[in-house]
């Protein structure tokens, strides 16, 4: 194969971050300076694993939320 990428091997970057929200029904952070940037991951599966681990670590605080952002969609919107 001449440098072709299959859909499974294509790098699709994802960002995992979170923090304490102002309210349970919103997505506004209580203190944006305290946002926990977990990391950037090469695919959704790795990002999901990181998200799940952080979410489980903070399960006792209902206002702590972690998110997965599909960075590859912002880098190549098509």
**How many folded domains does the chain comprise?**
1
Question: pLDDT tens across 25-54, in order?
Answer: 999 999 999 999 999 999 999 999 999 999
In a domain, 36, yes or no: no
Cα separation, 53 vs 28, in Å, equals 22
> Which residue has 């489980």 as its token pair?
56
Domain annotation covers residue 9: no
16 within a domain of the structure (yes/no):
no
The pLDDT of residue 78 is: 63
Find the domain containing 48 and state its range: 44-68
Residue 5: pLDDT over 60: no
- Asked if residue 9 has pLDDT above 70, the reply is no
Give the confidence band of 21 by pLDDT, cuts at 50, 70, 90. very high
């Amino acid at each position: 194969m001449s440098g072709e990428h299959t859909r499974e091997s294509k790098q699709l970057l994802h960002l995992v971050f979170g923090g304490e929200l102002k309210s349970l029904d919103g997505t506004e952070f209580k203190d944006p300076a305290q946002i926990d940037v977990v990391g950037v991951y090469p695919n959704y599966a790795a990002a999901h694993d990181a998200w799940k681990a952080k979410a489980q670590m903070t399960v006792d605080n209902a206002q702590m939320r972690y998110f997965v952002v599909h960075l590859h969609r912002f880098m190549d919107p098509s």
